[in-house]
Amino acid sequence: MAHWWTKGLLGAAVLPMLMWAGQAGSPVWAAEPPPVKAAALSVDELRTQARAGQVAAQVEWASRLRAGQGVAKDEGEALHWFTEAAMKGHVEAQFALAQMFAELGQDPQSPLLARLALSASQSQRDAAGWFRRAAEQGHVQAQYERGRMLAEGRGVVRNQREAVEWYTQAAEQGLADAQQALGFMLVNGGIGVTRDVPEGLRWLYAAAQQGQPLAISWYRQGAESGYPPAQYTLGLLHAKGQGVAKDDQAALSWYRKAAEQGWPDAQYALGRRLEVGEGVPKDEQAAAALYFNAARQDHVQAQLRLGWMLDQMGRDKEAVSWYLRAANQGNASAQFNLGVMFHSGEGVPPNREQAEAWYRRAAEQGHANAQNELGRLLGGGFFRDDEAEYWFRKAAAQGHVQAQQNLEKLAQMKKARGAR
């Protein structure tokens, strides 16, 4: 049996009424009522506007009926008015309607179910359908709820793969509940869901940063049981004061525990602290050793820092080796530094073509110093001045002072040539 609250799901259309005016046989559409700030209306005005078809008024009237705000609470009437607005595509009405059906579906003894001649299972199915409609319009909470229903098989056939898709959409918009749920699903894997621990940890960390208790508890339990990624991440949370109390000593302690087990992120984080003396006595030798251990595991930032430290020590050939490894992983700073080494012949024979190639790779990633140096390398010749100007302008737009000066010099050179 089709109910009034499901007719939108079954595909019934609500057509605007034709009004006749002017010359006989000339149809015109009925004018829409003027916009209304529904929240400011009295109960009588709100009811009148809702009955007149004002969607905003229908949603506000339904919300008041649902909460018993200024009127007697009546969830049945609230369902009716949310349905009226939801069938017209109002996303918040669709979400509220889905919430109400989901709540009813979890209370088989609800008098409202009997009043509506509706079973708990049918109520869950209606909830799933309205969550889907709101989710498809980009409603972030509805995307999460749709994912939950799919993950649990409530109102729909259980589908963990599709649940991950909806969780991902909501997680990418910053919803902590979705980030947490997605993280756990990826860490654990499931039917149709490939286990992806690094990606799962990334989402659990995002959720923990927002204070999600289950994510934080998971990291704490993992850290205390000796799991290096959890130790490192708990250290990071303490260092930033995200989701937990800011505590530099706790951060250092967890970094050390993870670093001692060979976790490269922790080795790099602890190395940075030791290099600059943040919260610990400065110890560049210990920092370099930690960078080396992380760099051997292809930690790109550690490769860059190790290369820089070796560069400062005059160990140019070793510096080039680590810059090259980081540069081949796409690190723009390493690419720039490698360009400098080839340009100046430090640690490698001078090679203008190689210098240009590495500057260009960094410049294309927006590295302002590389853009300026590439401009300098290209400038001064008749045939490449336009390209040099292009890169100077790119760097100058980022506030690079030397690039701004180089633009002026290039303009003067062009003017001088034109005067000959």
CA-CA distance, 109 to 255, in Å (whole number)? Answer: 52
What pLDDT is attached to residue 416?
A: 80
pTM, full prediction: 0.74
Whether residue 38 has pLDDT greater than 80: no
Q: How much of the chain exceeds pLDDT 90, in percent?
A: 84
222 lies in some domain: yes
Those residues whose C-beta lies under 8 Å from the C-beta of residue 258, and which sit 6 or more positions away, are 228, 229, 231, 232, 235, 265, 266
What does the alpha-carbon distance between residue 348 and residue 341 come to, in Å, rounded to a whole number?
A: 7
Q: Is 242 within a domain? A: yes
Q: Looking at 8-159, list the stretches that DSSP marks H as alpha helix, in order from N- to C-terminal side.
A: 43-51, 55-67, 75-86, 91-105, 111-115, 120-136, 140-152
Q: How confident is the model at residue 90 (pLDDT cuts 50, 70, 90)?
A: very high
Q: Cα–Cα distances in Å, from 207 out to 156, 182, 189?
A: 27, 10, 18
pLDDT for the residue 13: 30
Q: Find where tokens 């969550």 sit.
A: 131
- Binned at pLDDT 50, 70 and 90, residue 379 comes out as confident
Token digits for 109? 């003894």
Q: How many domains does the chain have?
A: 1
The pLDDT value recorded for residue 91 is 97
Amino acid type, 238: H
In a domain, 253, yes or no: yes
In a domain, 181, yes or no: no
Q: How confident is the model at residue 30 (pLDDT cuts 50, 70, 90)?
A: very low
| Phi-psi sector, 212: left (phi>0), alpha (psi -120 to 50), beta | beta
Structural domain range at position 215: 211-261
Judged against a pLDDT cut of 90, whether residue 15 lies above it is answered with no
154 in any annotated domain: no
What is the pLDDT, as a whole number, of residue 414?
A: 81
pLDDT over 50 (residue 390): yes
Residue 381 lies in a domain: no
Is residue 90 within 8 A of residue 82, CB to CB? The reply is: no
- Least confident residue range of 23-32, 190-199, 247-256: 23-32
Domain-located, residue 324: no
Q: Is residue 234 part of a domain?
A: yes
